[in-house]
Amino acid sequence: MSAVSEAGADVTTALVTGANGFVGRALIDGLRRCGWDVRAAVRNPAAAEVLAPGIPVAVVGDVDGDTDWGDALRDVDVVFHLAARVHVMDERAVDPLAEFRRVNTEGTMRLGRAAATRGVRRLIYLSTIKVNGERTSAAPFRAADPACPEDPYAVSKWEAEQGLRALASETDLEVTVVRPPLVYGPGVKGNLLRLLAIVDRETWLPLASVRNARSLIGLRNLVDVLIQCATNPMAANQTLLVSDGEDLSTPELVRRLARVLGRRPRLIAVPSLLLRLVARLFGQSAAFERLTGSLQIDANETRSRLAWAPPQTVDQGLAETAEWFRATKAD
C-alpha cells in the first residue's frame, strides 16, 4: 500500500525536523498531499526560505541537549526527526564523536523527552543503515542483526536509537526507527551528485571489473514509507530497514545513470587490487570501499509488517533524478 496515496485520517499535525533538508522538503510535500497539517522545525529563519510558501515554521536554534522544543511541539501528533549532524568531509572538530553525540544523541533525546511530555503519539527517527555496519559479505543486513557502527556518525545514531527505545519503554511515546541506505532523488548531494556529473561528462571510470551489490532507496519511496510508519499500528516501537528492493553493482548504477542521462557509459576494466593500491596511495581508501564494496539490506520484514511496497522502481527514481539534474544544469 502506498502511504502517500492514503490520507492521514488519524493524524492532525506533524512536526518535521531538518525540514529544509533533502529528505525534509520532500517529506513535507508528501504529507501535505495527504492532507496533513505540517509544521517545519528549522535552526534559523534563513533555513525556512527554501520551504514552500504557507508552511508554519518553528525556529528552534541548534539541535542539542539544550534545545527548547516547547512551541514547536504544541498540538503535535507525530514527530519526524530528520535533523542530524551528518558526514563531514573536512572534519575539523577536535573530538568528532563528541560533536556527533551533541547533535545526534543528546539532541535527539532532548526532543524525545519533550515529545513524551507533550503527549506526542509517535516519533519517527531517521537513522542510518551504517548502524548495522559499513559493508556486507555473506548475507544482507537485517534489523535483528547485532549493531556494528564504525564511525562517529553511526555510533551517535546507534546511541540515539537505544535512548529512544528506553524512553518508549518508560512512557506512552511510540518510537519507530528507520534505517535507510543511500538515498537518491531530485536534490541529491554528495557522492551520487558527483557520480551524476562524471557520467554526464562521459568521463572514463575504471570500474567495469567491480562485482559488488548495494541497496539504495529513492526519495519518493523513502517519503512513502516514512508516512506509512506514522500511520500503521504495526510500525510502533519497531526498527525497520528500507530499500527499493533492487540492488545494483557500481558499474550497473553507472550504466543506468548513463541511460537516463542519454550518455554513453564509459567503463574500463582495471583489477580491483590495483584500484585499491592507487586509492591507498592517494588516501582514498574509504571512498574506494564505498565504490566497490557491497552493502545489501533485507527489507522483506518491513514490507511484510507494513504491507508496503515501494511506489517507484529504481529506473523511475533515477530518471526523475536525471531530469532534476538536467534542469539544474540548464539554470
Across-strand partners of 59?
Answer: 42
Q: Quick one: cell of 207?
A: 570500474
**Residue 77 CB neighbours (<10 A):** 18
**72 burial level (CB within 10 Å; 0-12, 13-18, 19+):** buried
* List 125, 141, 153, 158, catalytic entry: 153
Q: What is the rounded CA–CA span in Å between residue 2 and residue 311? A: 6
Q: What is the rounded CA–CA span in Å between residue 201 and residue 204? A: 9
Q: What is the rounded CA–CA span in Å between residue 126 and residue 178? A: 5
153 in catalytic set: yes
- Asked if 61 and 106 count as a contact pair (C-beta separation under 8 A), the reply is no
Sheet holding 174-179, edge to edge: 57-59, 37-42, 13-17, 78-81, 122-126, 174-179, 239-241
Q: What is the rounded CA–CA span in Å between residue 157 and residue 127? A: 6
Q: Quick one: cell of 202?
A: 562521459
CA 239 to chain centre: 14
Find the distance separating the first CA and the last CA of the chain, reported in whole Å. Answer: 37
Which residues carry out catalysis? 153
